[in-house]
Structure 1
């Protein structure tokens, strides 16, 4: 058994435990293996180990992985704690979530553990009952993590992107997300509520939301349906544009360069354009950069097209069946979340 007078590697029992925990162990676990504080001190001084958090060690040197950081946080705070916010979104694989330097963990309101290192302890009156098991730690459900993450953010564009991705990629649904926004109350949720209202109206990306804001300033344009379900004269399903002015049969597309780098993506866009055009729909394409830099020009272009085609939608025989549930899922109509008994919707 290792003592303060010895300077050997840890005993096999702690090595097995460390392997299961990706080389992250607590001071109590080391003591249980017979390793005293002096040995921990010497190993840390020599750079063989590192103290990640109070009473929490990594038995390796170098930069820790994200998984090791999560395990260390859970061992420090307690395995009943729940990782939430941006760190949880990173675990789920959100593409548009920024990387956070610190990791937020929910703990019961009565817990006494303090924030330290890369860990931010967030006391909550109630933990997430739908949290998922990550093995050595707990991860909040996507809806709870999205709302908590967006409350950390101060950029509306990023909040829009995160919330839209949550719905677009089926991480959660509108009623569940609505419930989490209501649960969060009025504390740091102004941007969250604005982005959720946009998603509720059919917007499925941050550039779409910016286009919606841009065109909302127009006094000429009638109602624009976002991500509509379009049907041909025979009832066949047509491609879903980002926005649609039914009175003038004008489709609005936000075309990001990110989605058109491959030839197959470009051909897919052209096929969508041609399919709508053969039914008499005018397709207007706008890159996100133009919407942000020249909103007035974008608005005037749409208004000019609308004036020249007003009333044409009645003759092209393209039917609007309602907004689609997501941008990628073109299978059915958009369903507004029902009111849940005893809960106040933010709509």
Structure 2
């Protein structure tokens, strides 16, 4: 058997199906296409064309946006080991169609529905994330992005896509102006795609916070994230029938030093809620400040409930139950020290 011998000859009629209009050389070989036939079909004026190295478009016209994305993934995906079927069968249905590759950057954000991301038809490059050890070069319209810690992909419109924070970081890496960066980061938070902390973590890992236009956008992102989290906290109190607290107050002992700021405080029950807005560098130091403040307040008999933006978004009812339980338990505790609550 030579390398031109098809592994399992099959008729080609089914290849006109939409999902099979972009195939690799190995996949075509598995369908019975010899090297000579492939060469004849992809010559100028032929019915097929080469889209990328070892990736072929099974019609002569330009590729659609979906075909460009699938072609990019096929180019970057790991080739199956010898003897492993390249087309999924019932036995191999669990195998991902594009192992070791996922869309990232602006193309991924467009698939997620970001209005601030350009349409797929206007993208000059499609970014594909692969593990750092892969020996693979950018080519044509495909731009290879390597990562030491590659996240598990999400599936969007049937394609593997990097999680939003990672896709954002890869998109921001290629942007040089502040306004597009600001729009993308703001939409990520305002649209509920992810929390600011996750975005800042990825930007930090990619060493992008040293760029002034990125740092400025992150400041706006954090402010936006706090505003949204506060809005969720207000709605939680109202919608779940919790008593009205004092909002955004500084606590202090009468005539004494400040004890710290809290986002909500129920003076009769001595219960405080604090939004945990840690992000980026210095997280340990920020947590240390949270812990010190919580310890000071709890020594005075004040119960402190920490809520994260993610928990407020994903499990509002559960967080409301946590606060309600703390309020109801107030009667079983020793009376708290009297503190003064001043508006922030």
TM range, normalised to the smaller chain? Answer: 0.5 to 0.7
Structure 2 residue aligned with 1:61: 60
Q: Is 1:105 the equivalent of 2:128?
A: yes
Q: Is 1:167 the equivalent of 2:167?
A: no
Moved more, 107-116 or 93-102: 93-102
Structure 1 residue aligned with 2:114: 94
Structure 1 residue aligned with 2:145: 122
TM-score, with structure 1 as normaliser: 0.55
Deviations 1:33-53 (A, max 9, x none): 221222222222224111110
Gap runs ≥5 in structure 1? 1-10, 204-321
Which structure 2 residues correspond to residues 44-55 of structure 1 after superposition, within 5 A?
44-45=42-43, 46-55=45-54
Q: 1:22 to 1:28 in 2, by over 3 A?
A: closer
Instruction: Report if the CA contact (8 A) 1:23-1:60 is conserved.
Output: yes
Instruction: Report if the CA contact (8 A) 2:131-2:149 is conserved.
Output: yes
Q: 1:96 to 1:25 in 2, by over 3 A?
A: same
Q: Indicate the SS of the match to 1:152.
A: coil
- Alignment coverage as a number of residue pairs: 217
Deviations 1:137-158 (A, max 9, x none): 4200111111211121112111
Moved more, 176-185 or 79-88: 176-185
Q: Indicate the SS of the match to 1:323.
A: helix
Aligned with 1:337 (options 260, 273, 277): 277
Which structure 2 residues correspond to residues 310-325 of structure 1 after superposition, within 5 A?
323-325=227-229
Instruction: Report if the CA contact (8 A) 1:151-1:188 is conserved.
Output: no
Structure 1 residue aligned with 2:27: 29
Instruction: Report if the CA contact (8 A) 1:182-1:343 is conserved.
Output: no
Aligned with 1:41 (options 39, 42, 57): 39
Which structure 2 residues correspond to residues 256-295 of structure 1 after superposition, within 5 A?
none
Structure 2 residue aligned with 1:253: none
Instruction: Report if the CA contact (8 A) 2:154-2:160 is conserved.
Output: yes
Moved more, 154-163 or 42-51: 42-51
Q: Give the Cα separation in 2 of the matches to 1:344 and 1:63.
A: 52
Instruction: Report if the CA contact (8 A) 1:84-1:104 is conserved.
Output: yes
Q: Give the Cα separation in 1 of the matches to 2:205 and 2:51.
A: 33
| Deviation of the 1:134 alpha carbon | 4.2
Q: 1:324 to 1:170 in 2, by over 3 A?
A: closer
| Deviation of the 1:136 alpha carbon | 6.0
Over the aligned positions, Cα root-mean-square deviation in angstroms equals 3.3
Bigger RCO (CA 8 Å, 6+ sep) = 1
Structure 1 residue aligned with 2:217: 195
Q: Give the Cα separation in 2 of the matches to 1:345 and 1:184.
A: 21
Instruction: Report if the CA contact (8 A) 1:53-1:116 is conserved.
Output: yes
Moved more, 18-27 or 74-83: 18-27
Q: 1:38 to 1:116 in 2, by over 3 A?
A: same
Structure whose CA Rg is larger: 2
Instruction: Report if the CA contact (8 A) 1:181-1:193 is conserved.
Output: no
Q: Give the Cα separation in 2 of the matches to 1:340 and 1:154.
A: 21
Deviations 1:88-139 (A, max 9, x none): 111111111134211111111110121111111122111123x212476420
Instruction: Report if the CA contact (8 A) 2:190-2:224 is conserved.
Output: no
Aligned with 1:179 (options 181, 197, 201): 201
Q: 1:325 to 1:197 in 2, by over 3 A?
A: same
